[in-house]
Structure 1
Amino acid sequence: MGVLTTVFAFLLVLGPLVVIHELGHYLVGRLFGVKAEAFSVGFGKELAGWTDRRGTRWKLSALPLGGYVQFAGDMNPASAPDSGAAASVSPQERAQMFQFQPLWQRALIVFAGPLTNLLLCVAIFAAFTFFQGNRVIEPVISDFAEHSAAKAAGLAIGDRIVSIDGQGVGDVQDVARYVMLHADGRVPVVVERAGKQVRLPVTIATREIDDGFGKKARIGDLGIAFDQPVVAGFAPDSPAKAAGFAVGDRIVRIDDVDVTSFQDVVGQVQPRAGQTLRFTVLREGARHVFLVPVQKAMRPDGEGKAKAVGMIGVEAQIGRLVPVGPFKAVAIGFDRSFELLSDMLTGLRQIVFGERSVKELGGPIKIAQASGQQFSLGWENFVGFAAFISINLAFINLLPIPGLDGGHLAFYAAEWVRRKPLDVRSQEWAIRTGVMFLLALMLFVTVNDIVALPIFGG
C-alpha cells in the first residue's frame, strides 16, 4: 500500500467518525437552546470554514486527530467554563450559554457524543446481520492443534463447550473473545460429553499471531479447531471444482491422512504446491475420490515476505447463516457493541495492572496503518473496521479524564452529590492537567507506533 492510500483511508475513517461524534453534542445542545460558537473537524489553525445564520463557525482545522464543538460560555475547545463570560452578556445570551443550563441537560449534551459513536457501531453491526444473516458456529470441538492446551487438559473431539470460567458459551465467538484476552490464565472449562457435563481445569496457552501485514500480537490460545471441512464455495479457476468437487462436500481424507477440520485441509495443501493430491469427500452419504492438482500462489509470511503456498480454490463453510429480522438484528448489534466495550475495559485493566504490555497501545500511526490495510481488503472489512474505531472513540471519550467527555461527566456527578458545581478555577486546573496527560499519552503511543515500524525492526 502507498502512503497516499494509507492517509486517504485514515482520513476516510476518522473524519466521518469525528463529525458524527461532534454532531451528537451539537444536535442535543441545539435541542436545549444552547448556542454553538464553533464546530471544528481537527484542531489548530483553521484551513477553511464558514459561519451559518445562527452564528456557528463550521471549520476544517490543520491537525486531523479529532474535533470539537465550542458552546457559548466555553473558554476553550476543551469546554473549560469561562468564569467571566456571564458578566457582560444579556439575560437572553446567558440563557444560550452551556454552563448555565440545568445539570441534566449539560450531562445529556456531553454524553451525546460517545452515545452517537456507540449507536453508529450498533447500526453497522445490525445492518451486516440483517442483510447477511447471523453467523452461528457451534462450540463443538472438531480438532486440536499439535500442542493443544485444551487437549492436554483432557478435552476431546466432539466435546461441546458449555462455559469458560463460569461464563456461558453460546457459540464459538464467546470462546474466542474470552480466550484471546486471558493468555496464561488457568480457568475451569465445562464441556458436554455423551449427555453429561464434565468440568476440566485448563491453562490457556500464549500464541503470537500475524495480521497478514507483518504486525504481531500476543493472544491466548486453547489449540482448538471448530471449523468443519465442508466446501461452501469456490475461487475462480478452482482446481477442486474442475476435478469434480461440489458445494456441501465434506472432505474426510487427503491421500492417507484423515481430516476433521478445515485447518487440516490447509495444513495438508499449503506445503504441497505443484503436487496432485487424492481427496476423499462425503456427499449425501456416499464417498467420492478426486485427484486435485495443487495450484501455487504467493502469500505474505510472518515477516511480510512473499512465500509460495499451495491452494485448491475452495472456501470453508464457517458455521451457518441464520436469517434474522430487523429487531433481532438491532439486538445483536447492541450485544456485539457491548461485547467490544467489555473487551476494551478488560484490555485496559490488564495493561494498568501489568498483565499486558504497554507496547500493545496504539496511536494514530497504527490506526492509519490499519485503516489502509482494511481499505485494501474491500469495503466490508473497511466498514467493519470503522465500527471498531467508532466504539473505541466512545470508550476513550467516556474515560473519567478531565478534558474528555468522561471528565465532564465526572464533574457533573460531583456537582450532583455536592448540590453545587465545582468552582470554575478548580475545573480549569483539572482540565489543564487532563489535557497535559492526554498530550503526554499521545506522544507516548506515537513513539510506540514509530518504534514498531518495520524500519526500526518492529
Structure 2
Amino acid sequence: MTGSPNLLTTIFAFLLVLGPLVLIHELGHYLVGRLFGVKADAFSIGFGKEIAGWTDRRGTRWKLSALPLGGYVQFAGDMNPASAPSAAEDGLTPQERARTFHVKPLWQRALIVLAGPLTNFLLCVLILAGFVYANGRLIADAEVAGFSESSAAKQAGLRIGDRIVAIDGNRIGSITDIPEHTVYFPNKTVNVVVDRDGRNVTLPVKLSGEEVSDRFGNKARIGDIGIDFAVPVVSGFFGDSPAEAAGMEIGDRIVAVDGVGVTSFLQVPPLIMSRAGQKVTITVMRNGEAHVLPMMIGSATQTGSNGRTETIGRIGVQSGFGRREAVGPVQALGIGVERSFATMGTMITGIRQIIVGDRSVRELGGPIKIAKYSGEQFTLGWEPFVGFVAMISINLAFINLLPIPGLDGGHLAFYAAELVRRKPLGLRSQEWAIRTGVALVLALMLFVTVNDLASLPIFGG
C-alpha cells in the first residue's frame, strides 16, 4: 500500500480539479446567456467574500471568492447568486430591462441554465474520447480462461471456454463491457448468457460482494463474478524473444508448457520464471493444428519484494488481454458519449442502492474525500489524474441536474411547470422552494463532510 500524498499536494491537486471544472461550468451559463443578450452582473469562482477581481467593459464583475467550493454567474435581474427572481425591476430603462434574465423567452432561459451541466458533460465526453483516440479501443472476447478460488461464476456452472455474450439482457462484446453490469451490483443475481459449443446457455450467477482496497487503502464493496479472462493467445513479442526465435507466431494459443495444460495466460509465468536457461517444449494451437515448439528459456533480472535482485526466466511473449484497435475521431467521440452516459447510469444506480438500503450512506463523499482522491490520482501521473477530472466533471453535471431548487435542475423543474401552466410559478412559491432547496443542499454538504471526516485515519476511518 502506498502512502497518501502530503497536505500541500492534496490541496494543490484539489484546486487543480475543482477550479477549472467550476470555471467551465459557469462559462457555459455565461456564454449562452451572452449569446441571448443577457447581461451578467457578476462571475464568481467560489462563494462569500471577494478576494480579488476586476470589472470588464460590459459591466461584469469577475472575481475570486473566499470559499472555493463552487461558483456562480449572477445575471441582471437576479437578486442573489441562487438566481431567485428579483422582486421588482423599477427604475430600469426598457433597454436595461431587455437585458435581464427573466424577460427572456422560456426556451432561452432553459438553455442558459442547461448550459452549465451540459458543458461539464461535454468535457467528460471529450476527455474519454481523447483517451480512446490516443490509446485505441481494447477488443477482447469475454472467453472464460479460468476462475478465482471462490468464483461465483464457477459455482453457477460456467466452464472454461464459455464465451459470455450477455448479462441481464445487455450485449457483451468485449471484457470491457462486463464491469458495468457486475462491479456495481454486489450480491445481486444476474442472468449470464454464454456461447458454449455454438449454443447459448443461460445461467443465473449470484455475484459476490467483496471489499477491495486500492494502493492508498481506500476501500469499496464491489460485485465480483470471479472469472479470469486472460486467454493465452499470443498478441506480441518483446525484447530478444526466445518464443519468437523458436517459431511462435502472433495468434498462436498456448495450450501446454512441458506437458502441463494451460487455459489462462496467468498460468504461464509460474511455469517459466523459475527455469531460466532450461529447455522446454511449448505446445500451441495454430489454425486448428497443434505445434510443439522446443525452446531455451531466456533470463532477465528483477527486484523482488525483499529489495534483492533476482534472475527469472522469460520467453518474451505478450498475451492474454486482447488487442488494441485504432479508432477515428468520430468513432472515438461516439465511444466517449457512450461511456459518459454509462458513468451517469452508475451514479443513478448508486443513489437507488443507497435509498433502498443496498449500500451504506457512508459511501457518499464530499469535498474532503474529493480532495483526498485528487491528491492520490495526481501522484499516479497525468492520465489517471485527467481521467479523475472527467469523472468529477460528469458528477458535477449529474448533481446539478437533480430537480432540487437552488440547483440548475431545480430551475429547469420550474420552467417545466411554467411550460405546463403557461405562466411562471408565483414569486413567493419560488422563493420558498429555493430557500428549502438551498437548506437541503447545505444539510447534504454537512452530512457528507462529516462522512468524509469519519473516514480519515485520524478519526479511525
TM over 0.5: yes
Is 2:66 the partner of 1:62? yes
Identity among equivalent positions (%) equals: 61
Quote the offset at 1:435 in angstroms: 0.9
For the 8 Å contact 1:298–1:309, the answer to whether it is kept is no
2:209 to 206, 211, 230: 206
Is 2:426 the partner of 1:419? no
Aligned residue in 2 for 1:290: 297
For the 8 Å contact 1:276–1:294, the answer to whether it is kept is no
Aligned residue in 2 for 1:115: 118
For 2:311 and 2:70, the matched residues in 1 are separated by 45
Aligned residue in 1 for 2:437: 434
Instruction: Work out which of the two has the higher radius of gyration on C-alpha atoms and give 1 or 2.
Output: 2
Q: Deviations over 1:298-319 (max 9, x none)?
A: 59xxxxxx9x999989876532
Aligned residue in 2 for 1:375: 378
For 2:311 and 2:9, the matched residues in 1 are separated by 30
For the 8 Å contact 2:242–2:296, the answer to whether it is kept is no
- Identify which range, 223-232 or 138-147, moves more after superposition: 223-232
Aligned residue in 2 for 1:76: 80
For 2:310 and 2:203, the matched residues in 1 are separated by 38
2:178 alignment partner, SS class: helix
Quote the offset at 1:252 in angstroms: 6.1
Q: Deviations over 1:18-39 (max 9, x none)?
A: 1111100000000000011111
Is 2:50 the partner of 1:43? no
For 2:153 and 2:402, the matched residues in 1 are separated by 36
1:443 to 437, 443, 446: 446
For 1:256 and 1:375, the matched residues in 2 are separated by 46
For 1:451 and 1:310, the matched residues in 2 are separated by 46
Aligned residue in 2 for 1:237: none
1:324 alignment partner, SS class: coil
Root-mean-square deviation (Å): 2.9
Is 2:407 the partner of 1:404? yes
Change (3 A) 1:414 1:118: same
1:134 to 134, 137, 141: 137
Q: Deviations over 1:315-340 (max 9, x none)?
A: 76532111111111111111111111
Q: Which amino acid aligns with 1:217?
A: A
2:210 alignment partner, SS class: strand
Aligned residue in 1 for 2:57: 53
2:65 alignment partner, SS class: strand
Quote the offset at 1:233 in angstroms: 8.0
Aligned residue in 1 for 2:368: 365
For 2:95 and 2:31, the matched residues in 1 are separated by 20
Aligned residue in 2 for 1:302: none
Q: Which amino acid aligns with 1:425?
A: R
Give the alignment's TM-score, normalised by structure 1. Answer: 0.88
For 1:103 and 1:252, the matched residues in 2 are separated by 66
For 2:310 and 2:189, the matched residues in 1 are separated by 36
Is 2:153 the partner of 1:150? yes
Aligned residue in 1 for 2:19: 15
For 1:214 and 1:38, the matched residues in 2 are separated by 42
Q: Which amino acid aligns with 1:433?
A: T
Q: Which amino acid aligns with 1:96?
A: R
For the 8 Å contact 1:250–1:281, the answer to whether it is kept is no
Q: Which amino acid aligns with 1:61?
A: S
For 1:78 and 1:32, the matched residues in 2 are separated by 20
Change (3 A) 1:229 1:381: farther
**Structure 1 unaligned runs (5+)?**
235-239, 300-305
2:397 to 394, 397, 409: 394
For 1:13 and 1:262, the matched residues in 2 are separated by 38
2:209 alignment partner, SS class: strand
For the 8 Å contact 1:243–1:292, the answer to whether it is kept is no
For 2:167 and 2:79, the matched residues in 1 are separated by 50
For the 8 Å contact 2:275–2:297, the answer to whether it is kept is no
Change (3 A) 1:282 1:102: farther
Aligned residue in 2 for 1:99: 102
Q: Deviations over 1:356-399 (max 9, x none)?
A: 11111111111111111111111111111111111111111000
Aligned residue in 1 for 2:347: 344
